[in-house]
Amino acid sequence: MAGIVKLAWVFLKIGLIFFGGGYVLIPLLHRIMVDQFHWLTLKEFLDGLALSQLTPGPLAMLATFTGYKAGGLAGALVATVFIFLPCTVLMLAISNRYEKFRNIDLIKNTLDGILPAIVGLVAAAAYSLGKTSLFTARDFVLLVAGFLILQFTRVSPMFVILGAGAVGLVFHF
């Protein structure tokens, strides 16, 4: 029971800062899930991260995966509920007041200040993932190919991920 309560508390705290999209949390999630609590190995974390990209709410699915690894079915349920709880409560509280809030300069200016920091956090997450998963020429080719495809075409990220998986399965250079 103590393990489930710990899962609930950790994922509630993560849910409270789940701001700007999940990608900004990758370094934090890595630190908590792999380094601090050892709920996942580095390989499991990277695999979970890759697989979660095929689902809606990718990093929330990583929470479900981690909860399952740490506490079975109950852990998966607790991690999923508690990572979504803060944002759900917040959205219910402010959604009917959005029209009023969006025209307040203080709110607009605050959000405008947060956006560049979010870009920095995403860049830090990309760097963190890159240094733990880019080792071979194939890895760098897939990195560049994925970037170019997503940047300059309308191909779904799901197809890029599936294609990279197929390349990884076939080519070991």
Burial grade of 159 (CB within 10 A; 0-12, 13-18, 19 or more)? exposed
Q: So what's the pLDDT on residue 131?
A: 85
Q: So what's the pLDDT on residue 95?
A: 78
Coil, strand or helix: which one is 95? helix
Is residue 110 within 8 A of residue 95, CB to CB? The reply is no
Q: Where are the domains of the chain?
A: 2-97
Q: So what's the pLDDT on residue 22?
A: 66
Rounded to 10 degrees, the C-alpha dihedral 155/26/137/149 comes to 10
What's the helix, strand, coil split of the chain in %, to 5?
85, 0, 15
Q: Which of 22, 21, 40 is CA-nearest to residue 30? A: 40
Q: So what's the pLDDT on residue 132?
A: 80
Per-residue pLDDT of the chain (173 residues; tens, 9 = 90+): 778 999 999 999 888 877 656 676 788 888 899 999 999 998 888 888 877 777 767 777 888 999 999 999 999 999 999 998 988 888 888 777 777 777 888 888 887 888 788 788 778 878 877 888 898 999 999 999 999 999 999 998 889 989 998 998 898 75
Question: CA of 34: how far to CAs of 40, 112, 158, in Å?
Answer: 5, 33, 26
Confirm whether pTM is higher than 0.75. no
Q: So what's the pLDDT on residue 51?
A: 77
Q: So what's the pLDDT on residue 20?
A: 55
DSSP category for residue 6:
H
Q: So what's the pLDDT on residue 173?
A: 59
Rounded CA separation 38/30 (Å): 10
In this structure, the number of other CB atoms found within 10 A of the CB of residue 62 comes to: 26
